[in-house]
A and B are shown apart, each in its own frame.
Chain A
């Protein structure tokens, strides 16, 4: 990483031109570009989502921020300072993807150990351990050894250790993956509760509904590059509106011969579902009626983050897994 110049220490996360190239193969002669010149800033109190398919560079970004992986180029700063400084790390709670805890410890012992590493001790530590275990719903099972825990219990305990120091920044890597619907709901509620407290949250996921329900801002990564960035509302409304129509009495082939640029055209039994840009909707409606067809439904199509995600992947050439291999 290059030496930082002047930095805004109020920004919990600031990333400039961040790149990471992994050397792979027996002789380390192949290179995989996991991240390519990523720029990112997260303001205090935001819930920021890193969205992307597998191998998009989400986890690499998080691992660089958490000091697990060294950047090849560019800089990543937490509160205006390099992330490997102990006083910076004291302000950060981290939940990795599929967390693995010391199985020989009980949940309580593990969270206590985490607290001690954060410099906590005595009565304050005991109180915090009790509180965070209660918050994640692990109060009762906390005296069992972790090897006896279910995946959901491990995830909750891992979240408890991330919260033990009362972090200003919470970094969550796929926090809801592998959880059952109830577990996912509870995890979302916990994230929302942290947001209420003013904690800045950076989390990465490929579960779009989580991003829609939790995030203030989103960056979409594909193949190690940033392809979209903005608030969920901005990104969704930036796309030109479309209209969905259900047509009866005309076959799909005849409708396709009308010359409209359909975003979607699908035969459903005796009906045809069409999706066209809003500007074409009036003309299509008139054409269908003039050809003797009947329109049973016309409604604006909701453009979702999922559509945006798929669009972004198309723009990036359909690259879904892994970075660019050289």
Chain B
């Protein structure tokens, strides 16, 4: 195992031994299991409710976990001064940063996989179909987690965990409301509002482009082109955040 892989694996191990991760994972699995209870109140929209509720639970808890983990990883290393022993080793700062990011994405990926498996078991038990839009929604969720994690990492290279978490949470909401903000500007007659809304739209990642959950709920197929575009869009934003994080992190003094 090389230095990068060792560091990434250690990030996964850290998250695994973190009580918050374990609690969130347990809570998510419990909620998914509770889907059975929700189905009792449905008559004809069973598949829709199961899909909507299941994907919603996964999204909510994994986004919370992504923000919690990413906003604290680097800032905590700096605060607790564990960074001294890592940055002084034969591993460049950028590789260290990317290894930590990879560890985080591995943790989120494993949790998403575990939740997906339980979700599928639920569907199979209730004789509901596993559909292509559901798969697309899960992939979209993972891409969204990547964008949020990268943003959290960028913030945590220079801000405290609390500030990083607040900004990343703000980004999550603003990212999902991007289109609404843009439309608000279009409908407004004030030039200033138009300018602000356009600026916000282009300056923030539009997370709705990665959100295929409504399509999964109504079983509307997602084309390969749409998925490809969404993937490139998420990778672009993630890469931008990573490059900025690397620039900040490379220039920092660890006193």
Q: In the assembled complex, which residues on chain B have CB atoms less than 8 Å from the CB atom of A67?
A: 87-88
Q: In the assembled complex, which residues on chain B have CB atoms less than 8 Å from the CB atom of A101?
A: 82, 85
Q: In the assembled complex, which residues on chain B have CB atoms less than 8 Å from the CB atom of A92?
A: 88
CB distance B3 to A100 under 8 Å? no
Report if A119-B90 is in contact (Cβ < 8 Å); known contacts: A100-B84, A101-B85: yes
Q: Looking at chain B, what size class is its interface with the partner chain? A: 20 to 34
Known: A87-B90, A117-B6; 16 extra A-B contacts, CB below 8 A, are A63-B255, A69-B253, A94-B85, A98-B81, A100-B85, A101-B82, A101-B85, A102-B82, A113-B6, A113-B10, A116-B1, A116-B3, A117-B3, A117-B7, A118-B3, A121-B1
Q: Is B89 positioned at the interface, with any CB of A under 8 Å from its CB?
A: yes
Q: Which residue of A lies closest to B91 (CB)?
A: A117
Q: Is A99 positioned at the interface, with any CB of B under 8 Å from its CB?
A: yes
Taking beta carbons and an 8 Å cutoff, which residues of B are in contact with A?
A: 1-3, 6-7, 10, 13-14, 17-18, 80-82, 84-92, 251, 253-255
A91-129 toward B: CB 8 Å interface, digit per residue (1/0)?
010101011111011000000011011110100000000
Q: In the assembled complex, which residues on chain A have CB atoms less than 8 Å from the CB atom of B89?
A: 89, 114, 117-118
Q: Which residues 44-88 in A have Cβ within 8 Å of B in the complex?
A: 63, 66-70, 84, 86-87
**Count the A residues whose beta carbon is within 8 Å of the partner chain — how many?**
31
CB distance A102 to B84 under 8 Å? no
Q: Please pick, from B80, B88, B92, B253, the residue contacting A94 in the complex, using a CB distance under 8 A.
A: B88
Q: Classify the interface of chain A: helix, strand, loop or mixed.
A: loop
CA distance A191 to B207 in the complex (A): 55
Q: Is A90 positioned at the interface, with any CB of B under 8 Å from its CB?
A: yes
Indicate the member of B17, B81, B84, B91 with the most A CB atoms within 10 Å.
B84
CB distance A89 to B3 under 8 Å? no
CB distance B80 to A100 under 8 Å? yes
CA distance A35 to B128 in the complex (A): 70
Q: In the assembled complex, which residues on chain B have CB atoms less than 8 Å from the CB atom of A121?
A: 1
CA distance A113 to B86 in the complex (A): 10
In the complex, 11 of the A-B residue pairs with CB atoms within 8 angstroms, ordered by the A residue number, are A63-B253, A67-B87, A68-B88, A86-B92, A90-B90, A96-B84, A99-B85, A104-B13, A104-B14, A118-B3, A118-B89
